[in-house]
Amino acid sequence: MAYLAIALIALATAAISALLARSGMKWFRTLRLPEWPLPGRAMVACWGVLFALAAVSAMLAWSGSAVEDRPRVAALYAVDAFLNAAWCYLFFVRHQIGSAALEAALLAIATAVVVLEVFPVSLLAAALLAPFFVWVLTGMYLTLAIFRMNLKGRQRGGDG
């Protein structure tokens, strides 16, 4: 039952994040962007793989943890999932690029904490989060770059 819940939480996080992102696409297309990010379809594919890896990581961490530690493990992954969706909300819905960059830093810290906490329980669970951690760091840098590129031409209703 726990594995089903983990899979459903990962799927829900991905779906919520996708809906939030989709809602801001018209605005997003008005931004000045660096030339180096992946095309949209490639980003979607990467996110799918990363959420799948995170779900498997959570399952391994759950099964390798002592029963009394499982609520803490679940909370760590839940915070990461929440911060994922929160970035999409700040960036695509609220158009607060600077706030989203700061939030991405929190997501990177939270992901690092998950990796460090699950490492003693399951090396594989920690390793499966490594691509996600690198992706989050790249996303944080990209968000900061977008913020800086659009600072002078501020969008209405946002901080950048």
pLDDT in tens, 70-106: 999 999 999 999 999 999 999 999 999 999 999 999 9
pLDDT (mean) for 39-45: 83
- pTM as predicted: 0.89
pLDDT score for 37? 79
pLDDT (mean) for 4-23: 93
pLDDT score for 154? 52
Q: Output 44 or 79, whichever has higher pLDDT.
A: 79
In whole angstroms, give the CA distance from residue 153 to residue 46. 30
pLDDT at 21 over 70: yes
Q: Tokens 């949209």 sit at which residue?
A: 40
C-alpha distances in Å from residue 5, one per residue of 31, 78, 106, 127, 135: 37, 12, 25, 22, 24
pLDDT tens, residue by residue, 106-160 = 999 999 999 999 999 999 999 999 999 999 999 999 999 999 999 975 555 555 4
Give Dmax (Cα) for the chain. Answer: 53
pLDDT band at 69; cut points 50, 70, 90: very high
pLDDT score for 2? 86
Tokens of 41: 């379809």
pLDDT score for 85? 96
Per DSSP, helices labelled H in the chain are 2-23, 25-28, 40-64, 70-88, 97-118, 123-128, 130-149
Residues 6+ apart with CB under 8 A from 2: 59, 62, 70
In whole angstroms, give the CA distance from residue 94 to residue 86. 10
